[in-house]
Structure 1
Amino acid sequence: MSILVPIASTGITFSEIPDHTAYYFEIGSCTKFCPCCHSPHLRGYMTPNTPLIAMETKAENAAEQGADAILLMGGTTNRLHESDIIQILRCLSVILPVCLYSGSDDAERDRDLASQGNATWLKTGSYKAELGGLTSPTTNQRFYHIDYRYAKDHSGVYTGTEAVFTDLTHLFQKGDT
């Protein structure tokens, strides 16, 4: 059975991932209801309306048209099961590098989901008007690039891969995006 995702909108963005043209999926059914939310249309229940296979087709078409990244906005604060989020990330990351935007304040969970799903970038942290968004030096939000490296135990035996998160939030604050 295919995963159904509550997609509110799709499009192209030039500013959400530094130096990339990203095809985005806005995922609805957000459960957060943050004050001053910049995407209130994503709040509340939305009927899942888009099969994962349709998302893959849209991402492939966007790649053919010049997009070089995929962005999932509202990726972890909706009603999707964690295993579905991981599956969506894995499927889309085969097409293009994927960024997961989460409005969650559970950075550890977000990191775990992003790394299990082979994401290339992660934005984590809810929007708090008093702290500002990524462009504010006082923001609670973080934007990470994720590298995957071989991991070894203390005796040098290969144990798989590990995700290494590099904080790139400063790129938004300098206007270098």
Structure 2
Amino acid sequence: MLKYVDYDIVFQEIPDEVTLAINLSNCPYRCKGCHSPHLQQDIGNELNESSLSGLLQVYEKAITCICFMGGDADAGELYRLADFVWRSRGGRIKTAWYSGNDKLPEDSKEHFDFVKIGPYIEALGGLDKKTTNQRLYHIGNKRKI
């Protein structure tokens, strides 16, 4: 089961997209300097098709992408929800995943338009630093509705 703590419309997470970023809890990584250490706890409300549909009904006219910030603790459920977004909105809303994994999970390419990987390493900085270990992949649309 996935739980979300909060969400916001953001403009910098995914380039050229207006993104509904959903912060998921129960992160298995313990990155030093994490900007959201409270997300390491098992807290928040269940994220399921019903709660996701509610968020999409409110924000779908304002966004072009939905980004799951975390979800590594239950990647299978995350993939299922990403596919639900894609199917239920006729492919109009792109899907993205910010993962702390250090390798791009091969099966993630089937479920997301964008995937950011890499644990946050304080000394290397985030995606805005040339020294970062984190990578953002634009996978593109490989799904059929």
**TM-score normalised by the chain length of structure 1:** 0.71
Residue 66 of structure 2 aligns with which residue? 70
2:111 is the counterpart of 1:114? no
Residue 164 of structure 1 aligns with which residue? none
Residue 127 of structure 2 aligns with which residue? 134
Q: Which amino acid aligns with 2:26?
A: S
Where 1:16 maps in the other structure, the secondary structure is coil
Q: Percent of aligned pairs with the same residue?
A: 27
Unaligned runs of 5+ in 1: 150-160, 162-177
Residue 97 of structure 2 aligns with which residue? 100
Partner Cα distance (2:107, 2:36) in 1 = 22
Where 1:49 maps in the other structure, the secondary structure is strand
Aligned match of 1:5 in 2, 6, 10? 2
Partner Cα distance (2:44, 2:95) in 1 = 24
- Moved segments of 4+, more than 3 Å: none
Q: Which has the higher contact order (CA 8 A, sep 6+)?
A: 2
Q: Deviations over 1:63-89 (max 9, x none)?
A: 12x11111110132xx32x32121011
**RMSD of aligned alpha carbons:** 1.9
Q: Would the aligned equivalents of 2:2 and 2:78 in 1 still touch at CA under 8 Å? A: no
Residue 38 of structure 1 aligns with which residue? 35
Aligned pair count reads 139
**TM-score normalised by the chain length of structure 2:** 0.86
Partner Cα distance (2:26, 2:108) in 1 = 19
Where 1:140 maps in the other structure, the secondary structure is coil
